[in-house]
Structure 1
């Protein structure tokens, strides 16, 4: 039986396609996913389809080499936190970024109920802004 930490690790530590499959399998049907205010995809999305359409599809099509590399996990009961660095190049501007993040997950019965993102969104926005 997988622990909550194992479930979350499986969404970060493999090839992007495998991580996506593991995330899709781990999301509860009514899971909420909150992208931080100031982040380009800010908002709260509900359910796997909306989460993938509004966050992951956009990341995959608007960025080149986008990744979330986790360096630290913390687990406490039904909560798992992942700390790391986003990196990638915004396709429209050709500008790269590297920004620290924290993701706080809440799980129940082996399914992700919610995720809340904390990120240095200014660095992401800078990469998305064309230089005048």
Structure 2
């Protein structure tokens, strides 16, 4: 994104660090981007639907469970739209479901709210029917 170190608490930079930590499987670095009282919401209809709180809750109940159920889960974050503390990221999930061996390739939108250099809120938007198709034998 071409941001200087002085911009490392800018909302888009914080969100980008979260994606990079996730891609590297570095849950400690990922937790460092999340506020202690973070609200992380996976969309209704998604296998992990619900709202998770605390950095540890997010990584144990979302990231670690995705890794248990999917091979090569990748979030391809390609477009950022930032407006103050709000950052919307248009992206794509790709993965293969471990049980069905079916591939997933679906567009998503993520809405983050960043305050004080930490993610305080996340909401996922995804075509849950495509996810359901990949997990259904």
Q: Give the alignment partner of residue 34 of structure 1, picking from 22, 41, 46.
A: 41
Match of 1:111 in 2: 118
Does 1:8 find its partner at 2:15? yes
Match of 1:123 in 2: 130
The number of equivalent residue pairs is: 129
Structure 1 outlier segments of 4+, above 6 Å: none
Does 1:57 find its partner at 2:64? yes
The alpha-carbon deviation at position 13 of structure 1 amounts to 3.9
Give me the TM-score of the superposition, normalised by structure 2.
0.89
Match of 1:25 in 2: 32
Over the aligned positions, Cα root-mean-square deviation in angstroms equals: 1.3
- 1:10 is paired with a residue whose SS is helix
The alpha-carbon deviation at position 10 of structure 1 amounts to 1.5
Match of 1:70 in 2: 77
Inter-partner Cα distance in structure 2 for 1:110 and 1:10: 11
- 1:94 is paired with a residue whose SS is coil
- 1:12 is paired with a residue whose SS is helix
Structure 1 gap segments, 5+ residues each: none
CA contact (8 A) 2:52 2:61 kept: yes
Instruction: Write the deviation string for residues 13-34 of structure 1: whole angstroms up to 9, x where unpaired.
Output: 464224x443210101110000
